[in-house]
Every structure is written in structure tokens, then in C-alpha cells.
Structure 1
Amino acid sequence: MDTFSWYNVDNGNSYKKNVTKSVPLCNLNNLQLRFLCPSDLEEVRALCRNWFPIDYPYNWYEEITSNPRFYSLAAIYEGVIIGLIVAEIKSFSKLNKEDKSILSTCFGKSSSVAYMLSLGVSEVHRRNGIASLLLDNLISHLTAPENRDCKALFLHVLTTNKPAIHFYEHRNFRLHSFLPYYYYIKGMSKDGFTYVLYLNGGHSPWGLYDYLKHYGHYLLRGDLCRWFLIWLRSAFMWVLPGMRRMAMENTTVVSVSEFPWTK
């Protein structure tokens, strides 16, 4: 069976471990995985320029090869980087406007999501399971106990990138939204898609059908008490914002009427 091994590069990061696992998907012997380090910058930059139509700024490469907030994992074969994946865990409250609808607000502001910035494999090594291997390692990291608040992994992809779309859909990513003119490539605007993989119990904002399906499940099981408590909690969460607004408005009216000289 083919194997890969983790190995360290002396770049001061203590979280890199030595592990050996079997990789049934990969046809390459002695494939190794390790995290990127600053000395990889030029090699990674050359690969990304070859793989992707987007021209990333130089400081982007500096960040993904040195900043520990990025999960930057490389696949190494015969001493050469042949694949990489880059992701970042973000607070839900700090997401861009177009990405806010990814996660239901019931999870609260303390929840987080992971954004996949990049996933690529050298053309001659594609269809060997390397992209799946890199993605599996990222998902394992995101579903570890210390990342249980991470409720989704999402990414953006060009609408014309059919191989990538097929890959993500095969890996259970869902099409979430269409982003017109999201990319600007070589002087032209290009459309994009947002794809999402929900993790650790995460889900998208629910519609009426989702609520009926969810509560119907408890009714069919005969768990009426639990169903009623969940329904009551959901109803309270739904009306709470309105109650707060009414309380604030009433407070303002009372304050003004009590002190007429403020008018």
C-alpha cells in the first residue's frame, strides 16, 4: 500500500507533528505532507501563477507561508511541491456581506467558519487522489474537538471551472450562491459560485420547509414534550429582536414625555 509521511521543516512552528498514515487514494509512493514555511514562497508563487488565473499579491504569499493563522498544507513528491491547500478559520461576525447567509444565526456570534483560499495540484499529478488527501486533512483539522465551533467550510470558484465544481460537488459541497462579477481577471469581470460544506452540526438558515421537516421528525417519533420545548425556544428567538426594539422605542418615548423641556 502506498504511504505518505508528515515531516518537519525548521521554521519555528511547534504544531507540526510526525505521523505516518496509509493513503489508499494516492498512487504515488513516498508522498509527504508538511506545512508551508517561508523558504517555500518562491516555489509556491510559481505554482500558483501556473495553476490559477488570479494574480495574487506578493504579501499574500508571505502570509500563507509564514502566518500561523493559515492552514497551509503542501504535498511533496521527490522534494518538490506538487499540491497545496490553504484555508483560514474566520469568526462568523467578520464575514463579508456576501458570505453572511452561509450559516444560520442560531449558532450565535461565537461560531466560526473556515474559508478555503486555495486548492491546487500540478497537472501531471492530478487524478491521483492528492486533492482529496489535502482536503481530507483540512476537514479532519476542522472537525477536531478544539474546532467544534467551526460550523462550515466554504469557498469561491469560477462558474466556468467545471472540473473544480465537479470535484467539490463529489465531496458533498453544496452550491450556496451565485456571485455575479465576483472576479476580475485580466481586465475582465467573471462570475463566481459559493460552495459550502457544513461541519460540526452547522447548517444554513432554515426556511418554512426546514422547520416543518425538523419538528415533524419529533412528532413522528412521539417525542411531543421535546418538540414543544424546541418549538417554544425557536419562537422565543424569533420574537426576541422585535421585543427588544419595542422596549427601546417605549423607553425613548417615556424619557421624552417625562422631561418636556427636552423637546
Structure 2
Amino acid sequence: MSLCGEDMTTQAPLALSVQQEVQLRFLGPADVSEVKKLCREWFPIEYPDSWYEEITSNSRFYSLAATYHGLIIGLIVAELKPQGKLNKEDGDLLASYYPPSAQVAYILSLGVVGDFRRNGIASLLLDSLLSYLTSKDRFDCKAVYLHVLSTNTVALRFYERRRFRRHLFLPYYYAIQGKARDGYSYVLYINGGEPPWSILYPFFKINFYIINLFTFLCVKTTIFVIFTFSLTVSLITSHTAVLSSPNYNPVHFLVKYTVL
């Protein structure tokens, strides 16, 4: 469970030159304390200590930090998993013909330190993840998805600008300070991934094939008509030339075209 983008609140930006000094690196076990401190500042959800240990040491997580003068100012954490092991509410991300082994990526967290927001740091982190997921070695990953509070309009706009689409409304998905809060799931399809078929999808596919078949038949018919017309004109021209020849012999003509 995550609150992706909860950190993306409006804040006066620093000089754009900050971006030139930002470096990216993967998280390691030595970052646990700092990451825990940042996440508690950014997100209203309490993560267990085991979660921090996992994301900083387990290779199944893509845990990337943006640093400025050695300090972590932003991070993104994502996990690759087969769609067959998704939670029930996320089980219909892909079209039904994808096998349970088809991979999807779940963004657990994306956050930026307050003073560095609106400097493109979140975009830099997200773009780095997407670049990794769309590489040749990760072509088996067909979608990237996340959960976000329904009231976090800044985060919603952030993801929508980056072509994520709203997938599901999740009522009472979060429990924050003893209160149930609604959420959304958002998804971005990559590497040729496709969403589940809607009830109208088969009709669109049938219509597509009918149009293609009709076009094919029209082309073939047109070619046949043109060929037949050309052949007829050629024969008429040839016959006319023969009949008008002073050396015309009906017997020879009959034998010639009977053989043909």
C-alpha cells in the first residue's frame, strides 16, 4: 500500500541550477535510517521496519535516490511482480490473454524533500524508472501502476500529465489516523501492454476485421476488373488488326485462336 505523489505539494522552487547538481544512485542498507525519516515526513502511513530493510537490500525492488551534495532529496521505490500474484483489487490490470507470469511494476513510493519540489526531481526519478522498464531486458513488463489518495489532486495531475490513466476507484482503501480514505489506482501500459477488454471491445475488433476484409476484396475485385478490361481491349484490338489485314485467312485465324 502506498501514497505515491503525496509529497508533490505546491512549494516555491529553488534555482533551476539545482538539477545540474543532482545525482542518482540506488539505495543500500546504509540508507535505512535516512529513508525512514524522509518517508515519515512525506507520507501519513506508517511502514514497518522490515519494509525499509527490504527496499534497501532486496534486488526485486527498484529503489533509486536523487542526491544533492550527498544528501537524499528524493526517492522512488518500485517492485516488479508477476500479475498472477497481484492483490485482488489490482488483478485486472492486463488483458485476459496475458499469462499469470506477465510482469508488472508497482510504484510503492515517490517523494521529494519540500525545498526541492517543483524542480523536476520527481519527474527525473519517474523517467529513470520508466527508462529501465522499457529497456530490451525488461520487455516482459507490460504495465506500471500505483495507488494514490483520491484527494491528492497535485499527484493526480502529475501522473495524468505523464500518460498514466485512472484505472479504479478504491473506496476506503487507506486507513490514515484512524479514518478510512478513498484512493485511486493509476496505470501506464508499456512495451505493448494492453488493458482488459471492455464489453464493446470484441465488436470493435470484429468491425476492424470486416473493414480489412472488405478493403481486401475491393482491391482484388478492382484488379480483376482492370485485368479483364485490359485483356478484352487487347483481344479486340488484335482481332480488329487481323480482320483488317489484306492477308486475312479465316481458316488460319480459327486455328490460331483455337490453339490459344
Alignment of 1:35-184 (within 5 A): 35-184=26-175
Q: Of 183, 203, 228, which aligns to 1:192?
A: 183
Q: CA deviation at 1:214?
A: 3.9
Which SS does the other structure have where 1:204 is aligned?
coil
Q: CA deviation at 1:209?
A: 2.8
Are the aligned partners of 2:106 and 2:146 in contact in 1 as well (CA < 8 Å)?
yes
Distance 1:223 1:177, change over 3 A: same
Are the aligned partners of 2:44 and 2:176 in contact in 1 as well (CA < 8 Å)?
yes
Say how many residue pairs are matched.
Answer: 201
Are the aligned partners of 1:181 and 1:190 in contact in 2 as well (CA < 8 Å)?
yes
Aligned position for 1:201 = 192
CA distance, structure 1, for counterparts of residue 17 and residue 149 of structure 2:
27
Distance 1:78 1:211, change over 3 A: same
Worse-superposed segment, 65-74 or 216-225: 216-225
Are the aligned partners of 1:34 and 1:75 in contact in 2 as well (CA < 8 Å)?
yes
CA distance, structure 1, for counterparts of residue 17 and residue 178 of structure 2:
38
Distance 1:209 1:38, change over 3 A: same
Q: CA deviation at 1:215?
A: 4.5
Query: Gaps (5+ residues) in structure 1?
Result: 1-24, 226-263
Q: CA deviation at 1:78?
A: 0.9
Are the aligned partners of 1:218 and 1:224 in contact in 2 as well (CA < 8 Å)?
no
Query: Gaps (5+ residues) in structure 2?
Result: 1-15, 217-260
Are the aligned partners of 2:19 and 2:120 in contact in 1 as well (CA < 8 Å)?
no
Distance 1:85 1:190, change over 3 A: same
Asked which structure has the greater CA Rg, the reply is 2
The structure whose RCO (Cα within 8 Å, separation 6+) is larger is 2
CA distance, structure 1, for counterparts of residue 210 and residue 133 of structure 2:
33
Q: Deviations over 1:24-65 (max 9, x none)?
A: x97522210000011111111111011111111111111111
The percent of aligned pairs where both chains have the same amino acid is 57
CA distance, structure 2, for counterparts of residue 127 and residue 107 of structure 1:
38
The root-mean-square deviation of aligned C-alpha atoms, in Å, is 1.8
